[in-house]
Each structure stands twice: as C-alpha cells, then as structure tokens.
Amino acid sequence: MRGRAPPFGPFESKLLPLQPTRIGRDGVFEGYASLFRVPDLGKDVVEPGAFRESLLRRGPAGIKLLWQHDPAEPIGRWLSLVEDARGLFVRGRLSLAVARAREIHALMRDGALDGLSIGFRSEKARTEPRTGLRRLERIDLWEVSVVTFPMLPQARIAAVKAVRPAAFV
C-alpha cells in the first residue's frame, strides 16, 4: 500500500496487525510495527538495521503517531521506538483528550481495531530478480499509524497497559 507523498520524494506505508490483549484505560500500548526478514503482502522485506539511522536522527518525538496515515489525524505520541532482534518495537500513548483517540481506544478495547502501519521513504533497497522481493536496507521512518487493514499478518501487539483513572481510585 502506498502512502501520501511528501514534497521531496516518494512516501510508502506498510501495515501490520495488532492483537489487543489487555487494553488499558490510559491509552498506552506496545508491540511490533515491523518485523525483520518477513515478506509482507506487497513483497517488501525489512532488513535488520533498516531503521537505525532514522531512529537516531528523529527519535520518538520526530516520528508521528497517526490514524490511517492521515497527517491531519495525530492521535498520540510514541514513547519509544527500538530495533531489536525481531523488528521495530514501539510503545505509544493515545492522547485520550482527542476525540478520535478515544474512539480508537474504544475500538481496540472491543477488539475491532488491530492494525499498525509504518509510513516511510525508502533510502536503500534492492530487488531480488528471482523472487521479486524488495529488500529494504535503510528506511527513513516518518510515522507509525494505527490502521484498519494491516500488510504483515505475522506482527502482533505485545500489551496494552492499564492504569486506573484517578476518578476510580
């Protein structure tokens, strides 16, 4: 699936499913936004280290948490984004003061919304002629979105944190 194009080059997005296990009241969730060496439905494969430079350059504050890749729909912020041996592990918080984030939170709690997607620009990639797979070796990560339809069915959210609101303490 292709995303919106920034003014200076092609922009892409890759979708991953979430599987809400524990949905907390504070909107914090974590999971894998990308898995290494796993072909997605668009025949792209993210290689280990592909996010490293972008994460160092941007940090969590420089990577947006959006709804359906829409830059007019920020829904929270990323608390951390880390490459590990499996892929890109993210931890974010929905801004529950925002109406759309409250809706998304409710849908996650009901198990009706379960996707994550990366929005990026490919900086270094190679296509394997035999398989047609595109190996993404360096990615400029712009955003990670909560989405309806994921591109990589194998990725899952690890947890959604629960904190009791002050009104119930």
Task: Choose among 2, 3, 41, 4: nearest CA to 151.
Answer: 41
Q: Scan for tokens 């200076």, then name that residue.
A: 8
Written as one letter, the residue type at 96 is: L
Per annotation, catalytic residue among 13, 34, 117, 145? 117
Per annotation, catalytic residue among 34, 69, 105, 145? 69
117 among known catalytic residues: yes
CB 115 within 8 A of CB 82: no
Per annotation, catalytic residue among 12, 30, 83, 143? 143
Q: Phi and psi dihedrals of 80, rounded to 5?
A: -160, 150
Annotated catalytic residues are 69, 117, 143
